[in-house]
Structure 1
Amino acid sequence: MLNLKLLGVCKHFMLVSLAAIFLFAIGMQFHLHYQFQPLLQGVNFAPFLSFSELVVAARELVFVRVISLVMPVIIISGLELHATFSQSVKHRNGRQKRLSIQKLFSSKGYKYQDLFYYFYGLLALPASLLAFISIGTIPISEAASENFTNLANTLIDYIPSVKVPNFLLLALAVAAGEFTGYWGHRINHKIEFFWKIHELHHSATEMCIFNVSRLSVLDGFSKIILLPFQVISALLMGAFVVNCGIFGLIIFSLHMSLLKLNEYAGHSSMDIRYPWPLTLVYLEPRDHWLHHSIDENHYGKNYGVGLSIWDKLFGTYMQIPSSEYSKLRYGVSGTDYNKAFPLVELFLKPPLLAIKSLKKSSLRMLNISA
């Protein structure tokens, strides 16, 4: 009986692993070379790299990406293991499963699906990098591309010449970047079309570091309208780092490290508390647990990526008593996800469900007008 169960586990694990490897190997060639090339042709790359240089840079980043994927797993798993043995957190029925690796077995849906989504991140970053660096590769027309590229060129020339205190440059850069993340995330929740795409991420029934990358390829689509804020944030941060030298680089690195810590710890069982000054502006990892809660009272809360400023300003910030966090349950009631192989969940279901939601909205509007 045990051998049959072990064989079943191995079969599921091998299927997901092979699919992830196949997606990465083929995708790096097809996605970057063939899918992006038509979009990149005829675009003004004056301040940027050529297409061939971008592809080379993206491929070289793969090694860095592998390290950035593996190291958080090792570090967070080590902390989770320490917390388990020290029994720092107890479940109502005894010791709680705290290791993200353990939760791969108990999460609802196809076995080890979050492992697949995590490895998918190997491809997601280089593709996103091309889309961001080339600024203007996702326009609807050449005219839109030219106008947007001209705007970027103007900002690149203008921002470094602005004489403002460096601390203000940093504050504006961080605020603009967080503004993009906050409203992009909020749009994903408030508009049904985008929610059906983003629901894949929230359908996870366990908070596990591997579901950090549990995102559809269309998940960032809502942020296109906010792209100017991302560009401004990047340019302001660049000006700050240039002005402050090594000190600016250290500050930037510390900020990005805290954002990464929030991202991974916010999807783990690690209840990491920040010291008082940081809690004034930064979200703690457990704040994101609340965002993923299946409890309707917690819906629409803590949209921030790393900072709490926009949540507090727009009234979406929420915390609960410390003793209640370990009792939270996660997922989406009645979700259409967690029922198929990860490739289907990742590429087919999100657009199909989003289109279906548009049809339902159209019918509702017709009924109202009638």
Structure 2
Amino acid sequence: MALAEWALPKRKRTLPQGRRWLTNWGIVVLDAVLVRFVMPILPIGLALYVADNGWGLLNWLAVPSWLSILIAFVLLDFAIWLQHLISHIVPIFWRLHQVHHADRDIDVSTALRFHPIEILLSLLYKFAWIAAIGAPALAVFAFEAVLNAAALFNHANVRLPLKLDRVLRLVLVTPDMHRVHHSVSPVETNSNYGFNLSIWDRMFGTYIAQPDAGHEDMKIGLNAYQSEKPGQLLWSILLPFRNR
């Protein structure tokens, strides 16, 4: 996706790429270290434990394995959509999530720019859904792979042909669809919460097809932080603890 951004960029960058990438990838390193130290268990490991102990809805029902995998995958996708919605409407979670939105450019690195505390809370949330669903390990593995790949895809600053975009977004969240969500406009920020399947935003009325200002002219980030500070690592890590 980084190569695609270089070959077919959608927007001109606001801040220098090198500085932003040092910050965004620095946050990724902090996330990885903290998660490995505090919570070494992985979602797939939990799924295996859940299956061994017969926990969760799908383990209680006589559901064929292929159907169980499909149901779990779709429910986990909905869970992530719901988590994203909650992170916008609950103030304490928004304090953490605004680190992701403060980025004044949106590209492949933005997909991984999440505060370490939000990453830990996200894991706990995902663990609860895996246990409640009784998600098979194969479904969790597939979901994690698809979710991460989809996030890199739909955050990319890449220009897709409009016809291709219209077809893809019938099922999947495209870069143009998700870019609307990173607009400074509150109405647009509170839309298009999906990361993978586009059905949830259409189903719950949070879908906006295009930004009012157009993709090339729309302002990215948060109105309160239109400066070079979101490109700084320490500032980004401390952002949830500021009073504004």
TM-score by length of 1: 0.52
Q: Which residue of 1 aligns with 2:195?
A: 305
Q: Does 1:230 align with 2:127?
A: no
The answer on whether the counterparts of 2:171 and 2:198 sit within 8 Å (CA) in structure 1 is: yes
Superposed, which structure 2 residues align to 1:258-269 within 5 Å? 258-269=146-157
Q: Which runs of 5+ in 2 are unaligned?
A: none
Structure 1 residue 218, shift from structure 2 partner: 1.6
Instruction: Compare CA radii of gyration and give the structure with the larger one.
Output: 1
The answer to whether residue 110 in structure 2 is matched with residue 211 in structure 1 is: yes
State the match for 1:190 in structure 2.
89
> What secondary structure sits across from 1:282 in the alignment?
coil
Query: Aligned runs of 1:314-325 on 2, under 5 Å?
Result: 314-320=204-210, 324-325=214-215
- Secondary structure of 2:114's match? coil
CA distance in 2, matches of 1:336, 1:151: 48
Please list, as runs of the form range in 1=range in 2, the aligned pairs for 1:95-114 lying within 5 A after superposition.
97=12, 105=16, 112-114=19-21
Deviation at 1:292, TM superposition (A): 0.4
Change (3 A) 1:275 1:238: farther
1:323/1:204 Cα in 2 relative to 1: closer, same or farther (>3 Å)? closer
Q: Figure out how many residues of one structure are paired with residues of the other and give that number.
A: 233
Deviations 1:122-162 (A, max 9, x none): 45246266154576xxxxxxxxxxxxx89983317x85674
Larger RCO (CA under 8 A, 6+ residues apart): 2
Q: 1:325 aligns to what SS in structure 2?
A: coil
Match for 2:157: what amino acid?
S
Q: Is the 8 A contact 1:176 1:230 kept in 2?
A: no
Are residues 345 and 275 of structure 1, via their aligned partners in 2, closer, same or farther at CA, if it must alter by over 3 Å?
A: closer
How does the TM-score come out when normalised to structure 2? 0.75
Distance 1:336 1:275 in 2: 31
Contact 1:293/1:331 (<8 A) preserved: yes
Contact 2:182 / 2:220 at 8 angstroms: preserved in 1?
A: yes
State the SS of the aligned residue for 1:130. coil
Which runs of 5 or more residues in structure 1 are unaligned?
Answer: 1-75, 90-95, 136-148, 242-248, 358-370
Indicate yes or no: 2:173 matched with 1:283. yes
Root-mean-square deviation (CA, aligned residues, Å) is: 3.7
Partner of 1:71: none
Equivalent residue for 2:2, pick from 51, 71, 77: 77
Return the letter of the residue paired with 1:194: F
Q: Relative to structure 2, which stretch is displaced further, 179-188 or 327-336? A: 327-336
1:323–1:336 CA distance, 2 compared to 1 (3 A): closer
SS, match of residue 216 in structure 2: helix
2:234 equivalent in structure 1? 343
Whether the 8 Å CA contact 1:203–1:337 is kept in 2: the answer is: no
Tell me whether 1:153 sits opposite 2:57 in the alignment.
Answer: no
Pick closer, same or farther for the CA change 1:114–1:326 going to 2, 3 Å.
Answer: same
